[in-house]
Structures are given as structure tokens and as C-alpha cells.
Amino acid sequence: MNMQIKLTALTILLSALSFTGMTQSNPLQYLITGTYASGKSEGIYVCEFNSNNGSYGEVSHIKSSNPSFLAVSPDEKFVYAVNENGNNDNGGEVSAFSFDKKTGRLTAINKQLSGGDAPCYIQTDKTGRWVVAGNYSSGTLSVLPVSASGELGNATTTIQHKGSGVNKERQEKPHVHCTIFSQDDKWLFVPDLGIDKVMIYAFDSKTGKLKPAPQPYVKIKDGGGPRHLTFHPNNQYAYLMEEMGGAVDVFQYSNGKLKPIQHIASVQTNDTGFIGSADIHVSADGKFLYASNRGGFNTIAIYKIDQQNGTLTFIGHQSSLGEIPRNFTIDPSGNYLLAANQESDNIVIFKRNAATGLLTDTGTRIEVGKPVCLKWIGKE
């Protein structure tokens, strides 16, 4: 009897270890790259990436018109792309694709109008039943329903932002630049470069409807030009990239409300040239934040996150080793950071030190025309 109990316990332990081993031993992920489809690029590209050694292999690509930002459905069966085109406030589109996790191939499903011009951001909600697209040129955002087969329906809601900013050339009207859901799917945050505000909406995941939140917006520094927003894994802090201000704004976060607590530069403060800061991400362990700078900088700013209050301490700049790092990503293992250099037609792979946050060039480049958005899907 005792022998049987011991054998049973051992079997359970070995099964658990085997399962854990299988989970951790599969280092392969698909890297999905959105591009500006001109020159060397035709659309969306798929690579296989190995997080054990940072190697990659080309898998497939599919033609699409300026798929400059992508979103992956929660079940990883579908990919959605903006088609950053249009004029006269009704020319932008969003596209839906199915994704085969065994072959790494995308198949087009359908397209819908995005409800404005030059859509530059798209995000799915946590249920996978809705996508929200942000239209930069029109200053609008639209909610589109998603069927069980991944097909996009006509926009059910389109919201037009109003106002302008102090920079008459770049802030002459609203410019929606990001649409990001809260972790609990109850709130939608919309940084608008043109009006120096992050608009906040209450979101109903059952109906897809939006309405102004109790805190309808948070105002940032005049001329800052809010671009992208991200949340800390503990859901207590949010970090905003100022494209025009070349800075990161830090907020305490709770239940749809943002409270500013820090403003810190992301570029060398002695440079007065064009800035163009772009993307922002927090490492999965919540210890470091990274922010990309374009213009005359072409760097990744690295910060340490205070675990007690969420504030940032600047560590240093890493050259992106290319021109215009519009987007970057940290791979799911946390071992690598990949920087998409739009004008260099490549993605630079950096090894990431999890203890210090610092980046080291691996020497590996993924050659792809005008890469501007990087997303991950697990390989089966």
C-alpha cells in the first residue's frame, strides 16, 4: 500500500515535470511583421523565431496595402491589420486574416472601412469579439464587431475627437494614435497627438459600446503629442510615450483613472532637433521599461522601474543600429528585444540582460522592407 502511494506520487511529480518541461522547452514563436508596403515590402511577413539562441527563419508573407499596425486575437487564430491609406475621411480600411499555427500562413478573410483616414493602430478586446481602430488623419476611432470565424463587420460606433494643440503644423486637429484596452476590458484609452490628451472611455464588452469615462481624459504637457500607452504588469501604473515631447509620462492607475506622477525625458536633453519618439513597452517581469526614439536619435531608452511606486530611473540609451525605430518588441521569453528600423529595411535582434535591462547586439538582422509593427504568436 505504501509502495503504491509512493509510486502514484512519483508518477504525478514526473507528469508535472514533464508538462513543465514541454512548456518551457518549446522556444519557437512566430514573429508577425507589419510594414509600409512599398519598395522591398509587399505586406505582412511571418518568421519563425527561436528564443533559445535568437535565430530565425522566413516562413511566409501575404500581400496587403500598408498594414502598418497589427493585432492578434486572444486565441491567436486571427490577425487584424490597419491599411493606412485614405483621404476625404473615409478611405482607411482594416483587414482580417486567419492564421494557421502549424504552417505559419495567413489567409485573407475580409476588409471593412475604418471610419476615417490613415488608420495607424488596431487592438482587440479581451473577448476577441471587438476590434477598435484609431484613424490618425481624421482623429476618429471606430469599433468593429468580429464574428466567430474572424470576419469583421461594419463599424458599430465611430467617435470624432475635437480640438487642437499648440503646434499649428502638427496639432492643427485631432490625431488619434493608439487604442488600448485596460486589462479588465472595462476601459479604452486613446492617446491623441493632436489635442495633447489621453481620452478615456467606458467599454461594454457585451455590446461594444463606448461612453466617456468618469475621468473623460487626462491632459499632458502642451506640445507633448501623446502617441502610445502601455500598462505595468501589476496594473497599478501606466506609461505614455510623448512623440513630440521626447518624454515618458508615468501615471498611477486604478479603475479607469490616471494620476500623473512623473515626467522623464526619453532623448538626450541637449538636442533641440526633430524628436519623433515612438514605441514603449514594459518587460514582462515589470522591472524595466523601454522607449524608442526616431528623428536624429534612433535609440532605445532604457529605464529601471521602482517596484514600490512605479517611477522610472534612466539607465541609458542603446542605438537601434538603424534608421527610424518606429516599433519594437520583447520576445515572450524576455531574452531578446527586436527593433524594427523602418528606413533601414531590417529588424535588429538584441540580447536582453534580465538583471540589468541592458541590450547587446547579437549581430543578427531580419531583412524586411519598411518594418513598422511586430507581434507574436506561439507555434504549435
pLDDT digits (tens, 9 = 90+) for 188-219: 999 999 999 999 999 999 999 999 999 999 99
- Give the contacts of 334 (CB within 8 A, at least 6 positions apart): 283, 284, 285, 352, 354
What do you get for the CA distance between the two ends of the chain, in Å? 41
Residue 224 has pLDDT above 80, yes or no: yes
Task: Give the number of other Cβ atoms within 10 Å of residue 8's Cβ.
Answer: 10
**121 neighbors 82 (Cβ within 8 angstroms):** yes
Round the average pLDDT of the chain to a whole number and report it: 92
CB 312 within 8 A of CB 306: yes
| Residue 152 DSSP label | B
| pLDDT for residue 312 | 98
The answer, yes or no, to whether residue 16 has pLDDT greater than 80, is no
Q: How confident is the model at residue 1 (pLDDT cuts 50, 70, 90)?
A: very low
- 32, 69, 187 from 147: Cα distances, Å: 22, 21, 22
Give the start-to-end residue ranges of the domains of the chain. 161-319
> Stretch 53-64: mean pLDDT, rounded?
98
Check whether 22 has a pLDDT greater than 70.
no
Provide the 8-state DSSP code for 306: P
Q: Match domain 161-319 to its CATH number in 3.40.430.10, 3.90.190.20, 2.130.10.10, 3.40.50.2300.
A: 2.130.10.10
Give the distance from CA 55 to its chain's centroid: 22
The residue ranking higher by pLDDT, 143 or 380, is 143
- The residues, ordered by sequence, that sit 6+ positions from 306 with a Cβ below 8 Å of its Cβ are 312, 313
The pLDDT-based confidence of 17 (bands split at 50, 70, 90) is very low
Q: Predicted confidence band at 376 (pLDDT cuts at 50, 70, 90)?
A: very high
Q: What is the pLDDT of residues 244-290, one digit of tens each?
A: 999 999 999 999 999 999 999 999 866 656 789 999 999 999 999 99
- Over range 114-137, report the average pLDDT: 97
